[in-house]
Structure 1
Amino acid sequence: MNQKTTILLQEQYDNLPYPQIPIEQSPEEYYDTLFIHDLTTPYYLSQQKIIDTKDKVILDAGCGSGWTSLFLAYANPGAKIIGIDLSPKSVEVAKTRLNHHGFTNSEFYTLSIEDIDKLNYRFDYINCDEVIYLLPDAEKVLKLFQSLLNEQGIIRVNFHSYYQRFNFFRLQKLFKNMGLMDSNPDDLEVELVKETFNSLNDSVAAKQLWKNKFASMAFPPQKQKQSILVNYLLQGDKGFTIPQVFEMLKSSHLSFLSMVMWRKWNIRDLFQNPDSLPDIWELGLGEVSQEEELSLYELLNPIHRLIDFWCVNDNIQSSINPVINWDKKDWETAKISLHPRLRYKKIKEDLLKAIRTKQSFLFNRYISFPAKGNIDIESDIASCLIILWEKDSVTLEELVKRWLIIQPNDLVSLQPKAMEVAYDELINVIVRLENFLYILVEKVGE
């Protein structure tokens, strides 16, 4: 990073360590965010296996005030958290935050991302959230990350979307030309931005964007200032497209794994009838690559501020066989587990309440982003699956035995339920829940 950019970014975040979250605030019930930061999630997507996070080494590159570092510590029990940031004040806040919450297996350094090789660590997981698009050479940073990644390690990184942020980039250029970004923007520059927009005619395009973003201005002044700084006066901000991102991954010897919010990038959901697209689309989507499909999505619907994804080393071989395609032998050797981010006391209590009151149990009440609509199970199935909250893993046979106790007879014929029928009923439930990663299924011995 060039020296001027380094100084400006450091000053900006020294003045306003980001994000502005109270030290004592706990992330314990932020289930969606914990689900994202749990290494279990991308590792299962990559290997269809469950990872033990004990002793894994996790880098939070650009840790800021340590809010994300705290999520990483909560979500990955036993892992070592390494946080780095340009801003000494942010690093101090991050240290204080993790110590306050009892996470002592962590280290924080005031360090540029380009210098992380000086730490002499190799990493199982690198989290680079809301940072890389500010750096002069994002591709160089990706190559550095790859060089410090363990063989089966995973990187989570995100870029600002060029298409979604285009109007902000245009206005950043305006304010740069006005001299508001020659040094580190502060209260004066923020007030000048507000004065500019408030003075414009309502018909001006820039005023419309301003009104959409700050329609009520009801939030506190400090949060208002923070939002102006990260949208209109953000030093080094740049946008990228899907093809640009994939080209950088290729040159960095990395392979795209998945969007973090994968359900929100489903191109079929953009059509009125997802199951019956126009012929040109139905035929075309069957022949396009993952990159091409994502590129089509961002051209049709550029609503996502971030191109937010996981990637892995390009030499990692993954032979995932979707559970919907498994045969009887596969299921006989399967180990069935609950996603760790559902293994909370409150969620189990809610499950028990649903069973006792004979109500359905909603998984997406806790972890919502992988789902489209409600993902629920009836109380009798919940009674069968509650064992997943009590044991690390079970076999399908164990679940079938429970299911035959709970529902021993066919509800139509009232005859004893055949073992094969019970197997099929449970497999259907597990396949459905595994599709959203609420339940994880691993082949034993592979």
Structure 2
Amino acid sequence: MDKITCAIKKQYNQFPYPSIPIGDLQDVFLYSTNYEFVNYLCTGVYKSAKNIKILDAGCGTGYSTLKLAQQNPEAQIFAFDLSENSLKMAKERLEKAEVLSDQIHFFEADLMNLPDLKQTFDYIVCTGVLHHTSSPELGINNLSKYLKDDAIMYLMLYSEYGRFYLNQTRKAIKLLQSDQEDLNEGMEIGKELFGSLNENNPLFINYQRSYNASTKIISEDFADSEAQFIDSYVNAHERTYNIEQLFELLEKNNLHFLRFQDANNWDIKKIFRGNQKLIDKCSYLSQKQKYQLGEIIFAEKNFAFFTAKINFQKPIFSDEELSKKKILVSKFNKLIQIDDEILITNPLGNGMQFTEESIVIYNALFDSGNISDLIINFAKMFGMNYLQTLGFIRELESACILFFI
């Protein structure tokens, strides 16, 4: 085991992460943990999660494993981590949630020296891990060996631009430490540092913003935890990426970028808030250059994205092909009423306004019927022609509100 791996193992044994208390946030839905949703989102092809195999690489204290188990109850889930103390908490977390079963397999392993797993996987999840390894290139290569040819991998890497002030803080703490390997000393110095900075100091502003976000999204206990502070500001090892480096990492390992998890945030139209002059300027840019523009302007802290071995293309169905398909409605959508408007929302954060006619059609879709028959029936009921109704169904499909099967 190399020096960096030893240091990381020591850190996460001493401060297991994520430090979400066991039993908390059991009902939170993360769409990235639902295989059927992710596969359709990335490929346009519906695949059942029944009997599939999922690998949670670097599962930590098991929060991601819990979500995978909840969202894919008929899947075999394999989860490993470098830290035995984190794995112990992971098992306790799943036991508390009453989802630990013979289908969940935990084991201790080092991503830099991964043992023969003797199987391939339909979905691999590895978030917040590779950038803490001594060789992210080796880590992603080791994972891709066990990725099926038609499978998807979900990764999260730290962003260079988005973590600029955080990294400046880390450097300041290290300069002040007498022993840079002493995590407790680093934490003590870090807290003293934030307590001494002017509230207008960019390092303090960044710290306060991150703290408030952690409190709002997870909990105050999590934001105040030693493990969270250590992971963010005194980590034994981490590196960051920019868009160019991210794509190089994938290309070296024969992987193809599919999409960002938060793809809407990378939309040029949204970035420039509809400014047509700037949007037109972007027409000369490649997709990667558009992403580079986005990372400079928005400076996201992390890159969360989906990748695969092959170049998936979302199929485009003709009207004739579409009329022969059946519909499966995604169970993660909600109809909500705001004032006099009725909206449908999905896990991607998309909102779509519904008319009374649309609600009737949407509710009928839950019966999973032949699309052609549905269109004819609703055309008779509401005077909507075939193309109007078909267009509505296509709009639902593009937002992953329903699947064609």
What's the TM-score, normalizing by structure 1?
A: 0.81
Which residues of 2 match residues 15-414 of structure 1 at below 5 A?
Answer: 15-25=14-24, 27-28=26-27, 30-31=28-29, 33=30, 35-100=31-96, 101-104=98-101, 105-179=103-177, 182-186=180-184, 188-201=185-198, 204-213=201-210, 219-220=220-221, 223-274=224-275, 276-278=276-278, 281-282=279-280, 284-302=281-299, 304-313=300-309, 316-322=310-316, 326-342=317-333, 347=334, 361-364=342-345, 367-369=347-349, 371=350, 374-389=351-366, 391=367, 393-404=368-379, 407-408=381-382
Moved more, 222-231 or 126-135: 222-231
**Structure 1 position 437 matched with structure 2 position 397:** no
* 8 Å Cα contact 1:161-1:240 kept in structure 2: yes
1:37 shift after superposition:
1.4
**Separation in 2, partners of 1:363, 1:168:** 37
Moved more, 195-204 or 260-269: 195-204
Moved more, 47-56 or 378-387: 378-387
* 8 Å Cα contact 1:181-1:235 kept in structure 2: no
Equivalent position SS for 1:277: helix
Moved more, 141-150 or 63-72: 141-150
Equivalent position SS for 1:126: strand
The structure 2 residue matched to 1:428, chosen from 385, 391, 397, is 391
**Separation in 2, partners of 1:401, 1:217:** 50
* 8 Å Cα contact 2:132-2:238 kept in structure 1: yes
AA aligned to 2:145 is: S
* 8 Å Cα contact 1:217-1:224 kept in structure 2: no
Moved more, 55-64 or 16-25: 16-25
* 8 Å Cα contact 2:162-2:301 kept in structure 1: yes
1:213 shift after superposition:
4.4
Length, aligned pairs only: 399
What's the TM-score, normalizing by structure 2?
A: 0.88
Equivalent position SS for 2:332: helix
* 8 Å Cα contact 2:19-2:228 kept in structure 1: no
Task: Give deviations 1:154-204, integer Å, cap 9, x for gaps.
Answer: 110111000010121122122223336633513x43222111232345565
Task: Give deviations 1:91-124, integer Å, cap 9, x for gaps.
Answer: 1121222234234111101111223343322111
1:233 shift after superposition:
0.7
* 8 Å Cα contact 2:163-2:301 kept in structure 1: yes
Moved more, 55-64 or 264-273: 264-273
Equivalent position SS for 1:385: helix
**Separation in 1, partners of 2:67, 2:18:** 13
**Separation in 2, partners of 1:292, 1:76:** 36
1:317 shift after superposition:
4.7
Equivalent position SS for 1:341: coil
Moved more, 130-139 or 43-52: 43-52
* 8 Å Cα contact 1:180-1:189 kept in structure 2: no
What stretches of structure 1 of length at least 5 have no aligned partner?
Answer: 409-416
* 8 Å Cα contact 2:17-2:228 kept in structure 1: no
* 8 Å Cα contact 2:153-2:308 kept in structure 1: yes
1:212 shift after superposition:
4.5
* 8 Å Cα contact 2:151-2:308 kept in structure 1: yes
Give 1 or 2 for the bigger CA radius of gyration: 1
Describe the shift of the 1:110–1:180 C-alpha distance in structure 2 as closer, same or farther (beyond 3 A).
farther
AA aligned to 1:51 is: K
1:404 shift after superposition:
4.4
What stretches of structure 2 of length at least 5 have no aligned partner?
Answer: none
**Separation in 1, partners of 2:125, 2:53:** 11
Describe the shift of the 1:396–1:199 C-alpha distance in structure 2 as closer, same or farther (beyond 3 A).
same
**Separation in 1, partners of 2:109, 2:182:** 19
1:151 shift after superposition:
1.1
Equivalent position SS for 1:124: strand
1:205 shift after superposition:
4.5
* 8 Å Cα contact 1:45-1:257 kept in structure 2: no
Identical amino acids, percent of aligned pairs? 22
1:26 shift after superposition:
5.5
Equivalent position SS for 2:308: strand
Equivalent position SS for 2:249: helix
